[in-house]
Chain A
Amino acid sequence: MYKVKVYVTLRESVLDPQGKAVTHSLHSLNYPEVSDVRIGKYMELTVEKSERDLDEVINEICSKLLANPVIEDYRYEVEECVPQ
């Protein structure tokens, strides 16, 4: 069994209105050293071992549903875990 941690963020070329608002807010809280914030989503998938290649499955899931390739990028980390 695997735990897959998926991170979805707006693509670099796409302006992030939420991130911009949070950056402004941090500046007004007197953290001028923060130059940019990008807001994204974090998802944890529990995936059983199967015949299929795990990377292939995860890439398919991400591009079909978890991320919208028009405006979003994704990356993921895989942890192997022992079922309880």
Chain B
Amino acid sequence: MKFAVIVFPGSNCDIDMYHAIKDELGEQVEYVWHDTENLDEFDGILLPGGFSYGDYLRTGAIARFSKVMQAVVKAAEAGKPILGVCNGFQILLEAGLLPGAMKRNESLSFICKPVNLTVANNQSMFSTAYAQGETISIPVAHGEGNYYCDEETLAKLKANNQIVFTYQDNPNGSLEDIAGIINEKGNVLGMMPHPERAVDELLGSADGLKLFQSIVRSWREANVVKA
């Protein structure tokens, strides 16, 4: 499976993402600059964390209009797995690939620490390697991770089982403890915690690795023809 790590001016978790895929997961991966117009050669798209365009105006607001995002939308429509972490999640929200928006953390401070998450849906293509209800430890590092959506959207998220990860001890004020959601089709995941920073026990946790393994597993099931 071949992954693209999209690099915007101001991305700063791209190298961690690359390392997670190449060295820990053992799959192919390439960096892709934000002015690339074609992502056809890739099977999965990863939008890393950071501060794209300095978070000017709103987090993700300017990155959302970069050339590569049209190709990301096309890949999403084609059903390819797309993962946005932290700033990547914020970009997916601004692009309308996921519903809702981010506000400043309730505490107004930047939060950087490991948090416990509950796997609220282990049926998505990003979470099949986890047990339903499993507790996992993944670090967060953000100033604007306070997820918000209106009541109608929240009802839809619940009805379609789109809430994949929730915080056990809500660090930022997110509605309904939401840490990660998928789109209705199930192939776009946005999450504030950083699974790419939890891929080895040396880093304090390897719980993030199963997320990437889940993506590969569902891709293999769909694409690899058994001889």
Give me the interface of A with B, judged by CB distance under 8 Å. Answer: 10, 13-15, 17-18, 21, 41, 65-66, 68, 70-71
Contacts and interface: CB of A to CB of B under 8 A. Distances in A.
A17 B108 contact: yes
29 contacts: A13-B150, A14-B148, A15-B103, A17-B104, A17-B105, A17-B106, A17-B107, A17-B108, A17-B146, A17-B173, A18-B104, A18-B108, A21-B108, A41-B57, A65-B57, A65-B61, A65-B65, A66-B57, A68-B58, A68-B61, A68-B94, A68-B101, A70-B93, A70-B100, A70-B101, A70-B148, A70-B149, A71-B103, A71-B148
Contacts of B101: 68, 70-71
Interface string B68-102: 00000000000000000000000001100001110
Nearest to B99: A70
Interface of B: 57-58, 61, 65, 93-94, 99-101, 103-108, 146, 148-150, 173
Contacts of B58: 68
A41 B104 CA distance: 14
Nearest to A43: B57
A68 B102 CA distance: 10
A10 B150 CA distance: 13
A61 to B, nearest CB: 12
A7 B65 CA distance: 22
A65 B60 CA distance: 11
A18 B148 CA distance: 15
Nearest to A21: B108
Given A17-B104, A17-B173, A68-B101, 17 more contacts: A10-B103, A14-B148, A15-B103, A17-B103, A17-B107, A17-B146, A18-B104, A18-B108, A21-B108, A41-B57, A65-B65, A68-B94, A70-B93, A70-B99, A70-B148, A70-B149, A71-B103
A15 B150 CA distance: 12
Contacts of B65: 65
Contacts of A68: 58, 61, 94, 101
Contacts of B94: 68
Nearest to B64: A65
Contact of B103 (A14, A21, A65): A14
Contacts of B103: 10, 14-15, 17, 71
